[in-house]
Amino acid sequence: MTGPGGGSWQPDPEGRYDYRWWDGQRWTDQVSHGGQVSRAPMGAPGPGGGAPQAGPQHGGPPRAQQPHHATSPQAQAQAQGDGFAGITGDLVDGRFSEKEAKAIGNQNSKMLRVRLGEPFLARQGSMVAYQGNVDFAFEGGGASRFIKKALTGEGLPLMRCQGQGDVFLADRACDVHLLNLNNAGLSISGKNVLAFSSSLDWNIERVRGGSIAAGGLFNTTLRGTGWVALTTDGPPVVLDAAEAPTFADTNAVVAWSANLQTQLKTSFKAGALIGRGSGEAIQVSFYGQGFVIVQPSEGVQITTAS
């Protein structure tokens, strides 16, 4: 994070402290260690009283390869005299600071961070925080998509996010994964969609090989060039359908390459009707060149009070 006058906290080039202040032209004697700001000239004994550790030359610019989000905000704030002064602890030592290296990327495994440039679409209710001037508006998708939602149950309630600022998104503390589409298609279960760029075209489509009467399956299909963030209930497995015919539980499958051939496979037997079945009566089969993403869960089961 850059401070006044172009200065910034950077990893101590001597390795004796966590950070040392670079004023834009030279290293200063201002250091931060364990969240505490103090002064120590270059070459002086470290916090443990030992000799300086080997490190880069004292002169020269800070280490360019270190992302600026590694800066300790607590130490930065103390140097500038704002709200972190006098507060220490793991929550303010830098490890949970906002990650600014990418415009769109994971803040952590459970949260997505989007720096607004172009508008994007996100699941309604997925915003957990934002900074800046951001507007959230209902995104209906048009009459045809509304009818498909009503008839198929493939619910994808969306909001349009636009303006200037940073938006943080999450959904039930599920794992968040970011994919980039380049003139490609992805079929994804609506409950696993977190957000996607407005440049992508989306629609609700019936999974080929199934029918409503036979337990038809409907998914949200994204096509074009842009990014999409999806969620999984736990670490997923990505299967290459080209290696062998691939089958997945309809509730556990998250997404697949839109060009794959699909078929709903049913295995109803008499035993299933009297409580002695396998419990895996309907699966989706996949054939062709592409991949299938499967989560280690059949999703959150929503029950209603009787």
CATH value at residue 227: 3.60.160.10
The enclosing H or E element of 225 equals strand 218-232
Task: Report pTM.
Answer: 0.67
Residue 145 lies in a domain: yes
Answer whether residue 100 shows pLDDT above 60.
Answer: yes
Question: Which is higher by pLDDT, 149 or 34?
Answer: 34
Average pLDDT, the chain: 78
Q: Are 20 and 141 found together in one domain?
A: no
Lowest mean pLDDT among 58-72, 152-166, 204-218, 250-264: 58-72
Top pLDDT among 40 and 236 is at: 236
pLDDT at 151 over 70: no
Tell me which of 51-60, 92-101, 112-121, 192-201 is least confident: 51-60
**Same domain, yes or no: 194 and 166:** yes
Same domain (yes/no): 140, 79: no
Give the residue from 92, 123, 153 where a domain finishes: 92
Confidence of residue 300 (pLDDT cuts 50, 70, 90): low
Residues 85 and 204 in one domain: no
In a domain, 226, yes or no: yes
Residues 6+ apart with CB under 8 A from 244: none
**99 falls in which pLDDT band (50, 70, 90)?**
confident
At residue 49 the predicted structure's pLDDT band, cuts being 50, 70 and 90, is low
Domain boundary among 36, 59, 92: 92
Closest listed residue to residue 190, CA positions, set 164, 152, 156: 156
Inside any domain, residue 253? yes
Q: Are residue 184 and residue 265 in the same domain, yes or no?
A: yes
Contact assessment for residue 193 and residue 156, using Cβ atoms and an 8 Å cutoff: yes
Residues 277 and 251 in one domain: yes
The answer as to whether 303 is a domain residue is no
Task: In whole angstroms, give the CA distance from residue 109 to residue 99.
Answer: 12
Q: Is the pLDDT score of 127 beyond 90? A: yes
Indicate whether 115 and 249 sit together in one domain.
yes
Task: Please give the average per-residue pLDDT across 217-222, as a whole number.
Answer: 87
Distance CA 101, CA 180 (A): 17
In a domain, residue 302? The reply is no
Domain stops at, among 42, 67, 92: 92
Higher-confidence residue of 85 and 230: namely 230
- Residue 278 makes CB contacts below 8 A (sequence gap 6+) with 267, 272
Is residue 277 within 8 Å of 271, Cβ to Cβ? Answer: yes
The secondary structure of residue 2, as a DSSP letter, is: B
Q: In whole angstroms, what is the distance from residue 36 CA to residue 53 CA? A: 20
* Alpha-helical runs (H) found in the chain: 73-80, 143-152, 270-273
Same domain, 87 and 113: no
- Shared domain for 141 and 232, answered yes or no, is yes
pLDDT at 153: 46
Amino acid at position 25, single letter: Q
Q: Is the domain of 131 the same as that of 229? A: yes
What is d(CA 2, CA 154) in angstroms, rounded to the nearest whole number? Answer: 46
> How many independent structural domains does the chain possess?
2
Buried b (16+ CB within 10 A) or exposed e, 264-284: bbeeeeeeeeeeeeeeeebbb
Q: Is residue 267 part of a domain?
A: yes
What percent of the chain clears pLDDT 70, i.e. is strictly above it?
70
Question: Are 54 and 189 members of one domain?
Answer: no
Is 229 within 8 Å of 222 (Cβ atoms)?
no
Give phi and psi for 35, each to the nearest 5: 85, 0
176 occurs within a structural domain: yes
Same domain assignment for residues 217 and 271: yes
- pLDDT for residue 17: 83
> Domain range holding 41?
4-92
* Domain presence at residue 124: yes
